[in-house]
């Protein structure tokens, strides 16, 4: 499954132009300004009135506020743990009216450094929002040790002090999410800079005798499994492609938001990433049949292993899976499609 079907090249070109102009805004609407992985790795607060062990009523209220803000901003759950650990170290989860120099609040943020007014910083919601905004600007913050991510935001004189707070913070966050956290941990990247886009068996191969027009491989995986960028690159396409038409993401309902079937044709929700600077020249990877609008936008730079969407069954599909293609040139065409499994194995990725 997965070949992109178009009625006219002009439709697709128009869609790409629209995405390029509006993509950042769309991502902000969907993911609370955290274009990237927020909509994928954000846990659900299932127990907002939880009372984590060992916390006073005041600490519980402040921890709940930090978690609630993270959920509202669609921050990946790793960010919730970092935020709670930081506040636990900085203030003991108490919104302090004073501290070192002019530091105040849960995160001991300083008005003189532009974090906000003292009154604003004493508001847990405001303080948590400012912390998350700063954290999300830290490059690769999800893959950093907690101490490094927290230190990048706080600039503490004691950066290693946050380490002791990671385990308690994880327990606190877990109390609000019903005892579990989503599996959004970073994946191992091969020495050549490539990763497996999704776990699971190859259930349909590249241009087999029974499917000579199948320009990729199908990897079986449960619905909502994270799909990851196979290597670092730049997103060049984000579209809903179904029944011979392509639609730009709008944040509203589109035909790709429901399961497809083998008769309608199209890639469903899909992403293409251009990987420049490869030894053989530009490479393009394609990821089809996502369950909903992808978590990336055209023009966005992604890292190897970064979550970009969720497995689904949109478009020309008979069940949840990832249709994955590799193309030895840009733009991706039927003529430059190459066998993905062998391509990845050559680059140290088992598939």
pTM of the full structure? 0.59
Question: Residue 273 and residue 262: Cα distance in Å, rounded?
Answer: 25
- Does residue 2 lie in a domain region? no
Q: Return the pLDDT at 250.
A: 85
Q: Is residue 3 part of a domain?
A: no
What phi, psi does 298 have (nearest 5°)? Answer: -60, 135
Whether residue 330 sits in one domain with residue 281: yes
Closest CA to 216 of 345, 342, 347: 342
Domain-ending residue, one of 144, 176, 208: 176
Domain that holds residue 301: 9-28+187-346
CA neighbor of 282 nearest in space, from 272, 292, 270, 296: 272
Does residue 213 lie in a domain region? Answer: yes
Residue 265 three-state SS: coil
Q: Which residues of the chain have pLDDT under 50?
A: 7-38
Alpha-carbon gap, residue 78 to 256, rounded angstroms: 29
| 3 state DSSP class of 327 | strand
127, 151, 176 - which closes a domain: 176
Q: Is residue 80 part of a domain?
A: yes
Residues 314 and 208 grouped into a single domain? yes
Angle between helices 77-91 and 124-135 (to 10 degrees): 120
Tell me the CATH number at 249: 2.70.70.10
Let me know if residue 34 belongs to a domain: no
Residues 131, 250, single domain; the answer is no
Residue 37 domain flag = no
Q: Residue 41: what pLDDT?
A: 67
Q: Within a domain: residue 98?
A: yes
pLDDT for 37 = 46
Count of CA atoms in the C-beta half-sphere (13 A) of 81: 30
State whether 162 and 208 are in the same domain. no
Q: Say if residue 239 is in the same domain as residue 306.
A: yes
Are residue 130 and residue 193 in the same domain, yes or no?
A: no
**Same-domain status, 269 and 227:** yes
By the 10 Å C-beta count (0-12 exposed, 13-18 middle, 19+ buried), 287 is classed as buried
Query: Is 230:194 a contact under the CB 8 Å cutoff?
Result: yes
308: helix, strand or coil? strand
Distance (Å, whole) CA 276 – CA 168: 42
Do 208 and 160 reside in the same domain of the chain?
A: no
Same domain, 261 and 150: no
162 & 65 share domain: yes
- Predicted confidence at residue 1, as pLDDT, reads 55
- pLDDT, position 34: 35
161 lies in the same domain as 201:
no
Distance CA(86)–CA(138), nearest Å, equals: 15
Residue 233 C-alpha from the chain's centroid: 15
Within 13 Å of residue 25, how many CA atoms lie on the same side as its CB? 7
Pick from 152, 118, 117, 147: which is nearest to 133 by CA? 152
The whole-number pLDDT of residue 161 equals 85
Going by C-alpha positions, the residue among 235, 249, 244 that lies closest to residue 302 is 235
Domain boundary among 176, 206, 231: 176
Count of domains for the chain: 2
Same domain, 140 and 66: yes
């Amino acid at each position: 499954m997965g070949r992109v079907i178009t009625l006219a090249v002009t439709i697709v070109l128009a869609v790409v132009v629209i995405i390029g102009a509006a993509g950042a805004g769309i991502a902000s609407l969907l993911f609370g300004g955290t274009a990237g992985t927020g909509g994928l790795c954000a846990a659900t607060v299932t127990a907002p009135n939880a009372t984590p062990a060992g916390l006073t009523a005041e600490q519980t209220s402040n921890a709940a506020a930090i978690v609630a803000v993270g959920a509202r901003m669609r921050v990946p759950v790793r960010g919730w743990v970092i935020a709670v650990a930081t506040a636990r170290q900085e203030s003991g989860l108490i919104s302090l009216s004073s501290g070192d120099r002019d530091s105040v609040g849960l995160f001991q943020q300083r008005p003189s450094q532009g974090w906000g007014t003292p009154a604003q910083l004493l508001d847990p919601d405001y303080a948590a929002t400012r912390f998350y905004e700063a954290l999300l600007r830290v490059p690769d913050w999800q893959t950093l040790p907690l101490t490094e991510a927290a230190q990048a935001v706080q600039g503490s004189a004691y950066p290693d002090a946050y380490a002791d707070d990671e385990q308690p913070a994880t327990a606190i966050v877990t109390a609000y999410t019903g005892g579990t956290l989503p599996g959004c941990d970073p994946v191992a990247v091969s020495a050549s800079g490539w990763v497996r886009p999704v776990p699971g068996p190859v259930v349909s191969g590249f241009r087999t005798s029974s499917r000579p027009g199948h320009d990729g491989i199908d990897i079986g995986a449960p619905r909502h499994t994270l799909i990851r960028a196979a290597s670092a690159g730049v997103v060049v396409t984000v579209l809903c492609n179904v029944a011979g038409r392509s639609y730009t993401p709008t944040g509203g309902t589109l035909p790709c938001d429901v399961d497809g079937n083998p008769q309608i044709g199209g890639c469903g929700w899909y992403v293409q990433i251009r990987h420049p600077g490869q030894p053989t020249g530009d490479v393009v990877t394609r990821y089809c049949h996502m369950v909903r609008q992808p978590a990336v936008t055209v023009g966005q730079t992604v890292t190897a292993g970064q979550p970009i969407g969720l497995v689904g069954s949109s478009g020309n599909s008979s069940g949840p899976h990832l249709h994955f293609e590799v193309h030895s040139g840009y733009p991706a065409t039927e003529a430059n499609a190459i066998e993905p499994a062998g391509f990845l194995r050559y680059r140290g990725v088992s598939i």
